[in-house]
Amino acid sequence: DAKTTQPTSMDCAEGRAANLPCNHSTISGNEYVYWYRQIHSQGPQYIIHGLKNNETNEMASLIITEDRKSSTLILPHATLRDTAVYYCIVRVATGTASKLTFGTGTRLQVTL
C-alpha cells in the first residue's frame, strides 16, 4: 500500500471548517483513499473513502486532486467532539488485501 504523509497536529476553532491534508504521491491507480479517526483510545471510526472523485457524506467531504497525489478531508463545521487523531490510509480495495496500514495521523484539536 502507498505511504501517506500528514501533518502531526492542527488546531481549529469550533464552528469553522477543518481541512486536513494528506499526501500520497506514490498512490496506484487501483488504490482508494480512506479516512478514519480515533477519539482518545476508542476504536477508529470510519469517516469516508474515495477513488478519484470527490465524495461527501453526513460526516465530511473528501477532495482528491486530479493527479490523485494528495487529498483533503473537510469537516465543514468542527465541534469539540471532533477532537481526535485523523488517519489517512491508501489501500487496494480489490482482491483480498484487507490490511489497513495506519501511519501516525494528524492530531486535530478543536478549541472554543
Partner 1 sequence: KAGVTQTPRYLIKTRGQQVTLSCSPISGHRSVSWYQQTPGQGLQFLFEYFSETQRNKGNFPGRFSGRQFSNSRSEMNVSTLELGDSALYLCASSLGTEHQETQYFGPGTRLLVL
Query: Distance between CA 38 and CA 51 in Å, rounded?
Result: 22
Q: What are phi and psi of 66, to 5 degrees?
A: -60, -35
Q: Which residues pair with 62 in a beta bridge?
A: 55, 73
**Of 13, 17, 80, 93, the one binding partner 1 by CB under 8 A:** 93
Size of the site for partner 1 (CB under 8 A): 23
Residue 21 beta carbon to partner 1: minimum distance, rounded to whole angstroms: 20
Residue with grid cell 486535530, as numbered in its chain: 108
Helix (H) / strand (E) containing 95:
none
Record the cell numbers describing residue 42, joined without a space. Answer: 476508542
Closest to partner 1 by CB, 44 or 70 = 44
Stretch that binds partner 1, among 10-18, 21-29, 43-51, 52-60 (CB under 8 A): 43-51
Instruction: Provide the binding-site residues for partner 1, judged by CB under 8 A.
Output: 34, 36, 41-46, 49, 87, 91, 93-104
